[in-house]
Amino acid sequence: MTMMRRTGAWGLALAALLLAAGPAGASDGVRATPSVRHQEASPKPTASAPASAPRTSRAGDGQDGLAKGRGKDDQDIAARLETLGRLGSLVGADRYLSAADRSQLSGEISGEIAGLTQLKAKIDADGSADALRGDTEDIYGGFRVYAVERPKVDLVRGSDDLLWQCSNRLHDLPGQVSALLAKLPAASPVPAQAQPLLADAQRQIATACADAQAAHDEVIGLTPGGYPGNQPAIDEARAKLKAARDALGQLSSDLKQVVTLLRADAGSGHASDARKNRA
């Protein structure tokens, strides 16, 4: 086998493996802790405490009850601040985020941290059950850390990762492979055999890049105030991002099949014939 053919096969294999590995930031979003996962919605009335009846915030109206209520609120705020801090670290370290998205997400996270910190100070100073009740509701209704901001950050990071791949690695990949195959000996059947695979590879790239852009556009403008009406957009963005990754998986399969064709051709005698012709 010639050096050109050996280098080409390994290069394609490497490209296929890189694509199969998936986007770098796809799976490292922050997860909610079990103690707060179910608490994104505001507390709902129960049969024993109907919506029309006065409700205390987590505890009774006495000072002991207020202290317990403030303590639970402080725990929930601390959990959200920890989540936001980790989200901020992920956004700051993600080299695939666009500058505009990094700036926007960082600003949103900083704003929510500042808002929750101010809310904690207000809760700690609340002197009545009514005041505490309203501030408790604001932990959920005013910020939506788990229902909106966390999935938004995860989805924007995932889509920006794929869009970076589209711009910097994928846009001319089939053309590069075609150029490689054009250098094979004239007797090699690989260029003709690979053409349907390369055509499908081009389609998969177009699908992946379009779906990644659609996922990005679904969520980049979401705000806490849009909850719960913005949940279908989050679900749609997740579906689009999955479809984009599935397309990259098919692209990887196409390239691996080209590698298989090259390896089979390497043992077919075409390389030996080419060397004889040059002698």
**Co-location of 202 and 121 in the same domain:** no
Q: How many domains does the chain have?
A: 2
Same domain, 84 and 128: yes
pLDDT at 270: 56
238 belongs to a structural domain:
yes
pLDDT digits (tens, 9 = 90+) for 247-276: 999 999 999 999 999 989 887 765 555 445
pLDDT reported for residue 106 = 98
Regarding whether 224 and 159 lie in a shared domain, the answer is yes
Domain termination residue (choose one: 87, 122, 143): 143
Model pLDDT for residues 34-61, shown as the tens digit of each residue: 333 334 543 333 333 333 333 344 545 5
Domain stop point among 112, 143, 174: 143
Regarding whether 213 and 136 lie in a shared domain, the answer is no
Identify whether 92 is part of a domain: yes
Q: For the residues of the chain, what is the DSSP string, one character each? A: --HHHHHHHHHHHHHHHHHHH--TTSS------TTTTT-SSPPPPBTTB-TTS---SSS-SSHHHHHHHHHHHHHHHHHHHHHHHHHHHHHHH-TTS-HHHHHHHHHHHHHHHHHHHHHHHHHHH--SHHHHHHHHHHHHHTT-IIIIIHHHHHHHHHHHHHHHHIIIIITTHHHHHHHHHTTS-TT-SHHHHHHHHHHHHHHHHHHHHHHHHHHHHHHTT--GGGTTTTHHHHHHHHHHHHHHHHHHHHHHHHHHHHHHHHHHHHTTTHHHHHHHHH-
> Do 183 and 115 have their domain in common?
no
The pLDDT value given to residue 269: 61
Domain boundary, last residue among 125, 143, 161: 143
Pull the structure tokens for residue 227.
């909850």
Q: Are residues 129 and 162 in the same domain?
A: no
Residue 257 lies in a domain: yes
According to the model, what pLDDT value does residue 268 have?
A: 73
113 occurs within a structural domain: yes
Q: Is residue 6 a part of any domain in this protein?
A: no
Residue 172: inside a domain, yes or no? yes
Q: Are residues 93 and 169 in the same domain?
A: no
Do 134 and 86 lie in one domain? The reply is yes
Residues 184 and 248 in one domain: yes
Q: What residues of the chain score a pLDDT lower than 50?
A: 1-7, 9-10, 13-14, 17-18, 20-39, 41-57, 59, 274-275, 279
Residues 115 and 127 placed together within one structural domain of the fold: yes
**Domain, as residue range, for 70:** 25-38+56-143
Residue 240 within any structural domain of the chain? yes
Residues 139 and 34 placed together within one structural domain of the fold? yes
**20, part of any domain:** no
* Residues 156 and 74 placed together within one structural domain of the fold: no
